[in-house]
Amino acid sequence: MITETEMVVRLLIAAAVGGAIGLERESKNQPAGLRTHIVVILGACLVMLISKYGFTDIDIVNKDPARLAAQVVSGIGFLGAGTIIVHRNMIRGLTTAASLWTTAGIGLAIGSGMYVVGVGTAVVLLVVLIFVRKLEVMTVKKKYKVLKVFTVSPETFIREMEQILGGNDIRLHEIKTQPVPKDPEEKDQEGKNVLTLVEVYLHLPVYANVNFLLTEFSMVKGVRRVET
């Protein structure tokens, strides 16, 4: 039986690890970011602690400490499902949902006292999220044309863009949005940045004219510039 101080230490380690993963997701402007990952890993760690040490004062025959932990693994699915967005046959949020599920597993590992395994898994997860993503982007750019659109009205641009692409038989592969920091020319009355970068991944047919798309996108209301 460990002390309650040791339990708190495990919770703090779990919070630190979950925070690191959450910061990476936050930087990608994902719906589940810093706070969500910390809360998930804390809850998983706590459940594991309760499962292992919370029933020592009760005489239970055939005690199974894995029963509560198993519920975390299956129950985290509802939270992951909330981060997945489906729009026009495009799916976003799968990586974030998977990171939440893995983060819960890391919390269970730390809660059970497997510090090296838990932290090691977190390191591998961060490497995958950060560096493998860069490799993935390089591969995708070889297959798809990527246009970077800077706009103050991303909703308007996406709506107009879908009409432009549909009228020219161009298939949209993926859309990614993220705020643009440190742009002094694009601030609202409260001094907050309002410029958004919209990355458009397009599957272009051989006959498609990229310059035409650049012109059309630039004419959409709110668009400040378009880059390839």
Residue 179 CB contacts under 8 Å (≥ 6 apart), including other chains: 29, 193, 195, 196, 197
The predicted structure's pLDDT at residue 142? 56
Angle between helices 66-75 and 34-53 (to 10 degrees): 160
The owner of tokens 């910061």 is: 23
The predicted structure's pLDDT at residue 136? 65
The predicted structure's pLDDT at residue 190? 47
Is the pLDDT score of 15 beyond 90? yes
The owner of tokens 């592969």 is: 173
Assign a CATH topology to domain 144-227.
Alpha-Beta Plaits (3.30.70)
Residue 120 sits at the vertex; the CA angle it makes with 115 and 123, to the nearest 5 degrees, is: 130
Question: Does residue 189 or residue 128 have the better pLDDT?
Answer: 128
- Mean pLDDT to the nearest integer, 102-116: 90
Is the pLDDT score of 200 beyond 80? yes
Q: CB of 87 within 8 A of CB of 176? A: no
Q: CB of 36 within 8 A of CB of 137? A: no
The predicted structure's pLDDT at residue 120? 92
Q: Please give the torsion angle defined by the CA atoms of residues 42, 45, 47 and 53, in that order, rounded to the nearest 10 degrees.
A: -130
Model pLDDT for residues 138-181, shown as the tens digit of each residue: 665 556 788 899 998 888 998 888 888 877 778 888 888 888 86
DSSP-assigned states of every residue in 157-214: HHHHHHHHHHHTT-EEEEEEEEE--S-TTSB-TTS-B--EEEEEEEE--TT--HHHHH
**CA torsion through residues 43, 44, 49, 50, sign:** positive
pLDDT band for position 67 (cuts 50, 70, 90)? confident
In the chain, CATH 3.30.70.260 covers 144-227
Render the burial of 30-47: b for 16+ CB within 10 Å, e for the rest. Answer: bebbbebbbbbbbbbbbb
DSSP-assigned states of every residue in 23-82: HHHHHTT-SS-HHHHHHHHHHHHHHHHHHHHTTTTS--TT--THHHHHHHHHHTHHHHHH
CA distances from 73 to 92, 106, 107, 143 (A): 22, 11, 11, 36
The span from the CA of 100 to the CA of 32, in Å, is 8
